[in-house]
A and B are shown apart, each in its own frame.
Chain A
Amino acid sequence: MSTVVNVGTDLLAEGVEAQAVDVVRVDWRPPMPGTDTDLATVVADPLRHEANQRAVAAMLGVTARLVDVAPASEVLGLERGQFLHAGPPIDWERASGPLRGALMGGAALEGLVEDPEDAVALFESGANVSLEPCHHRSAVGPMAGVVTPSMWMFVLEDTETGRRTYCSLNEGLGKVLRYGAYGPDVLTRLRWMRDVLGPLLQSAVRSTRDAAGPVDVTGILTQMLQMGDEAHNRNRAGTLMMMRDLSPAMVTSGFDTADVAESMRFIGGNDHFFLNLAMPACKLALDAARGIEGSTMVVAMARNGTDFGIQVAGTGDEWFTGPAQLADGLFLGSYGPEDANPDIGDSAITETAGIGGFAMATAPAIVRLVGGTVPDALATTRRMHEITLGENPRWSIPVLDFQGTATGIDVTRVCRTGILPQINTGMAGRVAGVGQVGAGLVTPPAEIFPQALARLAERTRERAGA
């Protein structure tokens, strides 16, 4: 025995040190209030340890490749009047301003109404319209995450299993639909994306796939993390690497050269374009761990602007929800905290997979944008290792001696330490139609982790009784 790990009274550590043996001290604190019994039940679950190992291995085993771009109506079977949105399920009545704004713009894009403002009555009546979370259709949506049948979707595939995930094309920043803006400029851009960008990307992705093999999105994530992107609020390197892979096929597509140039200018000028590939890549990996009985690993964190929800590998597709929090960060122009809507979007799937806020240390260029400092960023990334089951050897951070990012958020460790997952996020305006007002840092509401733990404990007891 060369080392003793001491958890508890320091007197015992001192006794060991007095005998010239190394001691590692654990800075133990009591768990979140009321979780003692459930923690003991879940931790003693004979399935847990192996289930978590399988969950982490399944997640790390996935390689996401970009295999197609196609309209949501084709790949998701989305029909006229069906709307997808970010986060856990919600109805119009409880929907926040930015989600309402995005739904109104989406209704106009689909021609359900002439003027987006008219959509309010449509959604209030509920006739011939339905809302459903993106996550329920293997998709993820940034911010409001509204997807309508005519929107084009990236299609990612796990080569091994053929499983697929989907995400819409990124519109850029500022006044955009996903932030709840629906003015004429927003609709004009969406129509151009539908009529020009989507078909061009489909052609380029398909011919690249068929000639050189599909773009390895997981591989680009590996490289961009070493180039200063954390792949949530900064995707500059990733966007350019994707362009590098697709641009020959775009140029030779036979499409109108002005349209090709405009498309390349649009993608190159939008540092967030790759976010909509990072997100479904993360979902593809995390979905591999869904439904592993006994596993305490979080497989989704998502917000609809009203509620923050998580899903856990060992509890099927059940959502555990609490009120979405306001982000702490910096504001655009003259906007202030009173203009911001509570946290919104499926993009926390990046943190769930171990990048974004979990990889802040690799992106010093944006720490100030989201209201942090470089030492904070290093400390945050290190702190996330306290609540995760493993590390991702592919996603490593140079400044931390190439340590892999913290991967596989463990409900039990969150409840034990009270450390909440750190999320980098954009801030949408509270009022429908405003758009983006800032960016910052946010955490989930603490109570959803004890909720998930209680359900895990209930299942453990049911199994033991059966």
Chain B
Amino acid sequence: MTDPSPGTTHVELRAGAYADSVALLQVSRTVQGLDGVEAAQVAMATELNVDVLTSMGFEVPPTATPNDMVVAIRLADPAALDAALAGVEEALKNASRRSEGGAELAPHRTTAAALREADPDAVVLVSVAGQHALVEAMDALDAGHDVMIFSDNVPLEHEVALKRAAADRGRLVMGPDCGTAVVDGVGLGFANVVQPGPVGIVAASGTGCQQLLALLDHAGVGVSSALGVGGRDLSAEVGGLSAREALRRLDTDPAVELAVLVSKPPAASVAAELEKYAADLATPVELALLGADQPDLTESAERILTRLGVPVPEWPVVGTAGPATGKLLRGLFVGGTLAGESTLVARAALGTVGTELGDLTGPGHAIVDFGDDSLTAGRAHPMIDPTLRLDRLAQVAADPATGVIVLDVVLGHGAEADPASLLAPALAELSVPVIVTVVGTSSDPQGLDRQVQVLAEAGAEVHLSNARATRRALELLGSNA
């Protein structure tokens, strides 16, 4: 611990204290807003967070371990320290507030203990840090429950072990790194609000699933369940273990007329096996497997509508982007599959498109997924914490080489309560044209129309179809090439 000296910083380690990254994000925001505080970060001392703290000018003691909480505050006036620390305490207390009722019974400390009293059809939702997820998820499987693993950075061998255990027990593992699921009409994670209907989705892609939900909703088609299986499920190592079980479940659900399997580019052998498996099911299966020379998500949505005999609507666009200012396409995405789809579409037209954070200021076209595991270790997903993307957005917009910026905004339960209003002030100041895809349904809590309106008023051209949005950006660049 360092003592505060006038106008300097206070850094304090709290061994054994713990709160999850989202709770600490809220605490940090609250403390940043206190009088006399210039900057504040309250975080677990993970490697990434220590880097962030160091870049903010804080000196973190080398003894810090990921099990220690760091309270770091920079003060304009050292006299404000006591008030700031009191603010930290208050915010931490509020962040750890649990629901009222049953106060005399301490909450269970493990998933296994909690499941002893749960209903037999309870689903377990795991979002602890990746290296701890297996242990909690295995509790669910041992007790005979399905589990959704929201956590990212789960080691591949853990995923394989969990999915093999699930196959033995006839249970479903959704995830890891599964952002979205709709089970029995209930949205889990980042889920859009949809009407029940004839479509059932199996998704090895969170935002890919959300794009389909949004497009189908716009066309008036409901979805009875959406089972996320995690982005690696169709890799050679995992072999589609969860996709198989999920398809089997949709096949036995009388509400499902058409099953859809949506995935990031799969391993060819796994795709072939699943295609064979799907062919033997009673329910028809539409494959929406992304890849070069494969249909994009919007085309897949159109195929689904056609198979159901529903007319394909116009995909809405609000606002009009101005001409490109520079030559380069720059995409800053929070949705991994949306970033991937955009990259596939852009590569077909532009050739090389970089996907690393550094490429955003490099000499070429670039599309980056801010939800990538490497950028979320020890911090909240960008759908919840927009800080990192907003920082980079300003940087990219200031680069004269930038011609058009493409962004995504994802709505639904679990996502930021009002993402458009956080993004709009930044957009309003830009002279570069910005194309935004808003992925959401008319029933989402954020209000799809209002979100679109706020972004359009800030100068963005807003699409519902991510593929169309990317093509529109290419069109603008083309006129500048």
Contacts and interface: CB of A to CB of B under 8 A. Distances in A.
Interface of A: 1-13, 15-19, 21, 23-31, 33, 36, 39-40, 43-44, 46, 49, 379, 382-383, 385-386, 412-413, 416-417, 419
24 contacts: A1-B122, A1-B123, A3-B119, A4-B123, A4-B125, A5-B111, A5-B115, A5-B124, A5-B145, A6-B124, A15-B187, A24-B117, A26-B109, A26-B114, A26-B136, A27-B109, A33-B65, A36-B132, A40-B158, A382-B106, A386-B109, A413-B110, A416-B109, A417-B109
B283 to A, nearest CB: 21
Interface stretch (B14-22, B83-91, B226-234): B14-22
B67 interface: yes
A11 B125 CA distance: 11
Contact of A8 (B106, B127, B134, B187): B127
Please classify the interface of chain A as helix (H, G, I), strand (E, B), loop, or mixed, using the class held by over half of its residues: mixed
Interface string B93-116: 000001100000111111111111
Given A4-B188, A44-B138, A30 B414 contact: no
A192 B65 CA distance: 60
Given A5-B124, A7-B125, A8-B150, A16 B18 contact: no
A44 B118 contact: no
A19 B413 contact: yes
Contact of B384 (A11, A27, A33, A379): A11
Contact of B134 (A1, A44, A386, A417): A44
Contacts, number: 165
Nearest to B151: A8
A236 B414 CA distance: 57
B132 A31 contact: yes
A46 B165 contact: yes
Nearest to A24: B114
Nearest to A37: B131
B419 interface: no
A386 B121 contact: no
Contacts of B414: 11-12, 15
Contacts of B155: 40
A386 B117 CA distance: 13
A150 B119 CA distance: 57
Interface in B122-179: 122-128, 131-132, 134-136, 138, 140, 142, 145, 150-151, 155, 158, 161-162, 164-165
A9 B413 contact: no
A17 B135 CA distance: 25
B445 interface: yes
A12 B136 contact: no
B111 A7 contact: yes
B81 to A, nearest CB: 28
B189 A12 contact: yes
B128 A28 contact: yes
B29 to A, nearest CB: 14
Contacts of B165: 44, 46
Nearest to A375: B104
B122 A4 contact: yes
Contacts of B65: 33
Contacts of A2: 119, 121-122
B122 A8 contact: no
